[in-house]
Structure 1
Amino acid sequence: MNHDNVDGPSRPLLSCFVKTLSGTVAVMLLAFILLGAVTPATAQSYNFSSVVIEGNQRIEPATILNFAGIERNTTISAGELNDAYQKILASGLFEQVELVPQGNTLLIRVIEFPTINRIAFEGNNRIKDEDLQGFIQSKVRQVFSPSQAERDAGTIAEAYVQNGRIAARVTPKVIRRSDNRVDLIFEIFEGRKIEVQRIGFVGNRAYSDRRLRRVIESKQTGLLRALIERDTFVEDRINFDRQVLTDFYNSRGYVDFRVTGTNAELARERDAYFVTFNVQEGQQFRFGEITTVSEMNGVEAEDYHSTLKIRPGVIYSPTLVENSIARMERLGIRNGVDFLRVEPRITRNDRDLTLDVEFVLQRGPRVFVERIDIEGNTTTLDRVIRRQFDVVEGDPFNPRAIRQAADRIRALRYFKDVDVNAREGSRPDQVVIETDVEETTTGTVSVGASFSTNAGLGIQLGFSERNFIGRGQQLTAQILATGDTINYNLGFVEPAFLGRDVAFGLDFAFRETDNDNSLFDTAIGTFRPSLTFPTGENTRLGVFYNASYEEMSDYNGTSGILQSEVNQGGLWTSSVGYEFSYDTRRTGLNPNAGVLLSFGQEYAGLGGDNEFIKTTARLVGQTTVLNEEVTLRAILEGGAFEFSSGQNSRFLNRFSGQVIRGFEVNGMGPTEGNEQLGGDYFAALKLEAEFPLGLPDEYGITGGAFYDVGSIWGIGNQAAATGPLASTGFKARHVIGFSVFWSSPFGPIRMNFSNALQKEPGDFEQQFDLTVRTDF
């Protein structure tokens, strides 16, 4: 018999049944069965006059009834009874729920979730318990939730992934205690960190892999990797590097630059990553024609065009355009022009690779700042954040000014995260600026050691707080001791004195040497208040008062000049002075070059024992060449002391430091016999080149070559000399040398190997010195 038309697993049973009956009876019976199968059952309903709840210990019966939503003496269906069950279970308070109808009584049996007695972490070494506690939502004395514990385990595992430990596993375990309590234990397998073995670039032609690796935050595995954390693979850091690369190329005229892809491949042994950035550089563009037009009545374009500092032929940079717009809009504010907006209209010239920029002066929308809301600051005072805004409530709203304020808040380094947004206020023509910050630690305590060939081994204790009691003030204290010298320094800076862009500084210092240079002891105390404020986009002016006490004692040499100076004992100096600086390293037209010029004078004679004028000047220039692989640096500096009223300088006043490399501190200049005296004047020119040595750049080691020429000369109290004088006039010394720079985990270290081409009798040459490197 063919059974192709019989469906389902009952086909053999129906076949046998049909064979035993006659055709008519079989058909009638089969029809009856099928009719019964498709006829819906009558829906069951309930009506409860009472509800009994069993098993609850902490949860009130009324609360459980409220979850269920069942009213007494009300007819409900079986589906509604099931809904009540689901609602009680969804409350997250019960491990088991059972609803049992018993005639007119509904019995609700529940088993409550236990409360958390203790939360512990096992197996964690890299992340502390208190830090892990901040990641989870489960809390002691709260109801235990298995789903929440699983989510907390995932959060902890993600924290380890962010620290480069992608193999980390976290398992929540429960230990039952009495009184329906549990201990929640997170068992952690941290795994090892996955480091970045190699960082490569594909598609780059203008800049080498070595140069680009210096730009990004991620680093390759290098020496002393246990002390360097940036070689650990962190996905968020890779994403940040994409933006850093884009900014780097855009600021150098590559407006079409794109990171087309980033590949992070895990090694076969799963112990390292190979990261490759695929880039498309495009062509480098320069500024073409620069014009300014005005679409506002009464606003002359020529006045605003004269503020521009960019010129045709300069390498294009979006930052320069933004700075130009900000400069124009500030001029508009000074001229009383409200709602001035500057729109840059850029025309691309692919034939000659230039970008014409037309700055259009137009009136922006009439929108005002209703208020500035600040949230998230628990320590920092509101006014510290608010003063970073150039606008106040009621001022015209300028989106660019708000972005710049956000950048200034981030630059304070008081906050881990800064989010500044504008939303519509109470009226369409008003906005509310919302500033949300997340604070970070701002204080440091340092205990360390230092070494240099000049000072020997030194011990340093320091404290620094850059946001003192939340007021944005800086407080530093430091003690530095070497074999024969001890320095005490205490500094305080208020960056917004009287609510203005004026930094008020207060410095106390005391320095004591024991038999300095094997000739005499010294004691120098200084008190120095100062005010520093900007005078232009690249210029600052500082004024100060200086009160100092200087004493020389216990002289054991043979110089008549030094002996006469020691016999004067302690002398007070009361002086005022200023220092002017011009710095283009941040706002200059060339991102690869900068100039720093500083000039200062100090006038002594406002009381005290000394009368003099001290003048110092320093000019520093730096640029990069050969696709930024080589850095060229030049430093020209000098100083002069001019005493009046028949006075002469003392050793503590005169210049005696290491003005050029290749000579010891106080190792060149005027001498009496074989004793160095220091000089009233000095001048030095230092030329230097820094370049790669071909070593893997993750080592942080580069080389340099230098040529220095300089001199210290001039001594006023020659009549007191009892021995022969030498080098009292200008006599230039010439030095060449080779340097090794190491960006070590302990700080930047510099080793100089030098040879004096020209020196004078009595000079103390130094062919090798090890110092902490200082950039200008």
Structure 2
Amino acid sequence: MMAWGNAAGKSCGGRQKRSNILMRQVSALSIAVAVGFSALPDVSMAQAFRFTDVRVEGNQRIQASTIVAFTGLERGQAISGGQLNAANQRILDSGVFESVEIVPNGNTLVIKVVEFPTINRIGFEGNRRVKDDVLTEAIESAPRRVFNPTIAERDANQIAEIYSAQGRLASRVTPRIIRRDNNRVDLIFEIAEGDTTEVERVSFVGNRAYSDRRLRRVLETKQAGLLRDFINKDTLIQDRIDFDRQLLSDFYLSRGYVDFRVNSANAELTEERDGVFLVVDVTEGQQFSFGEITLSSELAEIDPDLYESVLRIKPGMTYSPNVVDNAVTALERLGVREGVDFLRVEPRLTRNDRDLSIDVEFALVRGPRIFVERIDIEGNATTLDRVIRQRFRTVEGDPFNPREIRESAERIRALGFFSDAAVNVRDGSSENQVIVDVDVEEQPTGSLNLGGSFSAEDGFGVAIGLSEDNFLGRGQRLSLNVATTQENERYTIGFTEPLLLGRDLRFDLNLGLLNSDSSFSEFDTERVFFSPALTFSTGENTRLQLRYSWEDDEMISRGNNSAGDPLAGPVILSEIAQGSQSTSSVGFTYTYDSRLNQLDPTRSFLFEIGADYAGLGGDTEYLKTNARFVAQRQVFNEEVTLRATVEAGAFMFQGNGNSRTIDRFVLGPDLLRGFDPGGIGPRDQSTVGSTTFNDFLGGNYFAVARFDAEFPLGLPDELGIRGGLFYDVGTLFGLDNVDTAGANVVGGGNSLRHVVGFSVLWTTGIGPLRFNFSRPLSSEDFDIERNFDLTLQARF
């Protein structure tokens, strides 16, 4: 019993203890609720308050009547506490008051306000990369306006976005205020720009057909490299990444991967938080090719055989949407030439998963009878309307073709005159008419270029160029260039009218002065030239240039050496003796370039043939012809580039006198590697006095074949270094109509020179550098070899 009683006592004691705790909790809760209600504004306690008078306190700029109007309350009306709270909020929502308090006092409603200060001035501190005027245009706050903390914070975020677009993700912007008298403040944005966030590495997940290295070459975003200060493409910028996603899609689609998609592109910060690893997750899918290609027509006046003849698609070719679009464009253009109005070409695709092919039926149908009522152009303050209208093949009153309007928009953007160009279509004045709106935003089109160069032939040089791509708003290009090197000076003026008389007819005019004292020749040259040319399209992939050229040039002697012997042999001296010679010639160049309408992005072909006839006045008469063929293909998942180039030329002098070295062909390392400029071909090895010469004389005929293979070296991609192997074979021969009296001329035969070598190709911010290391396998004793060559430009 005792044990039970003790247990019962303990139980009662426990219940009593828990009861006391519960009472203390209830009391504490009651006190908290009471304190909470007591902390609310007095207006919340007002019940059915009526006021007949209003008194406003604390206002300096805002009139009392305006503040009363903000409340929305009327005198004599019964007002509840909730209505007073709503009136308080309405005053705050006006955005001009820092704090508001409404206090009922008898029959008077007292409104106490503290106004936001006025902005005296706005300043930026810590910004070096972005100018003040750019930041000022980006923010809402402005001097003499009411300061609003919310707007200031929004402005700070906007400034941070500007820096983020430049890849400075670590930038910080803090708005500060400095109080002045008369309720004014200075608004200062303190900016910590931070460093750019560079992309340390770009990797891919899910790619099987193409390696990471090949896909990196597609992207605009590059990995951080040695020359990142020049390239500026290894900075993490979201807009660039979005553009890269589209580039990847275009790359795969053009190679037949119709199911390709970019699943994600995630940037992961490094441990130091000064760089990111960009990981792109892709799904390639299967590669498709073209299956059956057919053409059908719903229009009786169309000859299907004629339209089938313009199709260049063959079964078995790798499928590409670009190829289909080009075929549709070609068919619709043929319809325009044949006078078929409202022709529409509908490509109907049938997917065959069994053999991974896509059948394409080009259906020729009649489109809706809609006409272009007019074309409205806005935003072009400098560029003339006709410059933009010339990019349309459609004019007012023509049948409306949506594809042609889209292509016109692309041609307008390709001008480079506008930072933004939007082309939209809206309903016209009737159901069968539309209006085309063109809204452009112009950008600067002039440029001043300062640069340097180096070549083994001319040494180091400086170039200054001044150009305007939209001269007087007419879409014409005007340029002035001055290039000086250790051995050459060149001054040129160029003018281009891309659409002469509103047609696809380009007019070029070039004139200039060239002085040369090359160390590879025994004479100096001075040349003045004037050359207009017309270039126009003759087909989808072909162009023809017609040109006229007038030039006056002279070979200038360098005098004698210390022994009194001339510095040049008899042949060169006889050519120098001819003095200044003027040449008036006409010529043409016909070009076929598969890249203009590329069916296979891994293959390219270029063929050029040209001729110039001199004899329309002037002092010389000759016919000079040349031809060039280039074929390029990318193999091994486009990692390796194979290129074959064949060039040849013939010079036939027809005048009464003798030809000169500067008229004939002279081969340099750009045509045949492994030799100096003028290093092969006929030479004058005469001896005069104590001097034996080795003057190059050029040749009447040449033929060269070059074979290149370019491939990765396994080095980090950010270095931009690739390797190459090459084999060149060529000859330069023939020396007709030359005064060789008293001279010892050698090398007139057509013996072939064979050269092998390897190259290091380095893609830098100043251009592609190519280091050629060569070794001639077959040459003549009088040839001048060159085992190393550096160039700054790439061909084809």
Q: Which digits, 9 at most, give the CA deviation of each residue in 1:476-500, with x for residues without a partner?
A: 2221111121111221111122222
User: Cα distance, 1:256 vs. partner?
Assistant: 1.3
Give 1:732 shift.
1.8
- Seen in structure 2, the aligned counterparts of structure 1 residues 645 and 652 have a Cα distance that, compared at 3 Å, is closer
Q: CA deviation at 1:45?
A: 3.6
How does 1:352-501 map onto structure 2 within 5 Å? 352-501=355-504
Amino acid at match of 2:354: R
- The one-letter amino acid of 2:221's match is S
Taking a change above 3 Å as real, the CA distance of residues 91 and 370 of structure 1, as seen in their structure-2 partners, is farther
Q: State the match for 1:653 in structure 2.
A: 663
Alpha-carbon separation, structure 2, partners of 1:65 and 1:598:
84
Shift of 1:176: 1.8
Q: Which structure 2 segments of 5+ residues have no match?
A: 1-14, 31-44, 560-566, 686-693
CA deviation digits over 1:703-740, x for unaligned, max 9?
Answer: 11111111222223444432211112322211111111
Match of 1:698 among 712, 715, 718: 718
2:220 paired with 1:217: yes
C-alpha distance in 2 between matches for 1:9 and 1:389: 86
Q: Match for residue 49 of structure 2?
A: 44
Q: CA deviation at 1:401?
A: 1.5
Equivalent of residue 569 in structure 1, options 554, 559, 579: 579
Q: 1:430 to 1:74 in 2, by over 3 A?
A: farther
1:620-699 equivalences under 5 Å are: 620-658=630-668, 659-673=671-685, 674-699=694-719
Aligned 8 A contact 2:524 2:555 in 1: yes
Distance 2:68 2:94 in 1: 12
2:91 counterpart of 1:56: no
1:146 aligns with 2:149: yes
In the other structure, the counterpart of 1:33 is: none
Equivalent runs, 1:19-418 vs 2, <5 Å: 43-47=48-52, 55-57=59-61, 75=77, 77=79, 85-97=88-100, 110-418=113-421
Task: Report how far residue 12 of structure 1 moved.
Answer: 6.8
Aligned to 1:619: 629
Q: Which amino acid aligns with 1:55?
A: N
User: CA contact under 8 A between 1:672 and 1:721: conserved in structure 2?
Assistant: no
Aligned to 2:528: 525
Q: Which residue of 2 aligns with 1:595?
A: 605
**How much does 1:170 deviate?**
0.7
Partner of 2:10: none
Where 2:545 maps in the other structure, the secondary structure is strand
**CA separation of 1:718 and 1:213: change in aligned 2, threshold 3 A:** same
Task: Give the conservation status (yes or no) of the 8 Å contact 1:468–1:474.
Answer: yes
Query: By how many angstroms is 1:439 displaced?
Result: 3.5
Residue 601 to residue 67, structure 1, CA distance change in 2 (3 Å)? farther
Q: 1:376 to 1:177 in 2, by over 3 A?
A: farther
Structure 1 counterpart of 2:736: 716
TM-score (norm 2): 0.88
CA distance in 1, matches of 2:791, 2:483: 15
For 1:575, what is the secondary structure of its paired residue?
strand
Alpha-carbon distance between aligned partners in 2 of 1:587 and 1:520, rounded to the nearest angstrom: 46
The Cα of 1:240 is off from its aligned counterpart by 1.9
Name the SS of the counterpart of 2:463 in structure 1: strand
Q: Distance in 1 between matches of 2:292 and 2:518?
A: 66
How many residue pairs get matched? Answer: 747
Deviates more, 1:624-633 or 1:595-604: 595-604
Match of 1:707 among 727, 744, 769: 727
Secondary structure at 1:432 match in 2: strand
Structure 1: which 5+ runs fail to align? 16-39
Q: Name the structure 2 match of 1:18.
A: none
Percent of aligned pairs with the same residue?
Answer: 54
Partners of 2:24 and 2:419 in 1: CA distance: 66
Contact 1:561 1:717 in 2 (8 A): no
What is the identity, as a one-letter code, of the residue corresponding to 2:775? N
Instruction: Name the SS for the 1:215 alignment partner.
Output: coil
Q: What is the alpha-carbon root mean square deviation over aligned residues?
A: 2.9
Asked if structure 2 preserves the Cα contact closer than 8 Å seen for 1:611 and 1:647, the reply is no
Give a deviation string over 1:265-292, Cα, whole Å, max 9, x none. 2223323222222222121111111000
CA distance in 1, matches of 2:272, 2:97: 46
1:63 is displaced (CA, Å) by 5.8
Question: Structure 1 residues 532, 160: closer, same or farther in 2, change over 3 A?
Answer: same
Q: Distance in 1 between matches of 2:622 and 2:64?
A: 91
Give the drift of 1:468: 2.9
8 A contact 1:454–1:769 mirrored in 2: no
Measure, in 2, the Cα distance between the counterparts of 1:566 and 1:443. Answer: 42
Q: 1:180 to 1:377 in 2, by over 3 A?
A: farther
Say whether residues 1:774 and 2:794 are aligned partners.
yes
Change (3 A) 1:88 1:520: same
**Any conservation in 2 of the 1:649–1:680 contact (CA below 8 Å)?**
no
Deviation at 1:626, TM superposition (A): 1.1
Whole-angstrom CA distance in 1 between matches of 2:580 and 2:203:
63
1-side partners of 2:790 and 2:415: how far apart? 33
Give secondary structure in 2 for the equivalent of 1:492. Answer: strand
Q: Secondary structure at the match of 2:141?
A: coil
**Residue in structure 2 matched with residue 23 of structure 1 by the alignment:** none
The offset of 1:596, in angstroms, is 1.1
Do the aligned residues in 2 keep the contact of 1:466 with 1:475 (CA within 8 Å)?
A: yes
> Offset at 1:389?
2.0
Letter of the 2:722 partner, please give it.
T
Alignment correspondent of 2:11: none
Q: 1:725 to 1:422 in 2, by over 3 A?
A: same
CA contact (8 A) 1:344 1:357 kept: yes
Tell me the residue number matched to 1:736.
756
Shift of 1:549: 1.0
Equivalent-residue separation in structure 2 for 1:10 and 1:514 (angstroms): 103
Q: Supply the distance in 2 between the matched residues of 1:553 and 1:397 (Cα, whole angstroms).
A: 63
How far apart are residue 372 of structure 1 and its match? Answer: 2.8
| 3-state SS of 1:319 partner | helix
**Which piece of structure 1 moves more, 59-68 or 748-757?**
59-68
**Counterpart contact for 1:655–1:681, Cα < 8 Å:** yes
**Amino acid in structure 1 at the alignment position of 2:712:** P
Structure-2 separation of matches of 1:516 and 1:269: 54
Kindly provide the amino acid, as one letter, of the partner of residue 626 in structure 2: T
Structure 2 residue matching 1:356: 3-state secondary structure: strand
* Residue 765 of structure 2 is aligned to residue 761 of structure 1: no
Deviation at 1:194, TM superposition (A): 2.1
Residues 449-490 of structure 1 deviation map (CA, whole Å, 9 limit, x = unaligned): 211222111111122332334332222222111112111122
Residue 616 of structure 1, CA deviation: 1.7
Query: Which whole-Å CA distance do the structure 1 matches of 2:779 and 2:456 have between them?
Result: 20
1:292 and 1:302 in contact (8 A); partners too? no
Using the TM superposition, give the Cα deviation of residue 236 of structure 1 relative to its aligned residue in structure 2, in angstroms.
2.5
Q: Is the 8 A contact 1:555 1:566 kept in 2?
A: no
Aligned partners of 1:360 and 1:237: how far apart in 2?
38
Distance 2:108 2:471 in 1: 68
Question: Residue 44 of structure 1: SS of its match in structure 2?
Answer: coil
Alpha-carbon distance in structure 1 between the residues aligned to 2:71 and 2:281: 59
Q: Which moved more, 1:311-320 or 1:226-235?
A: 226-235
Say if 2:488 and 2:518, in contact at 8 Å, map to a contact too: no
CA distance in 1, matches of 2:95, 2:234: 43
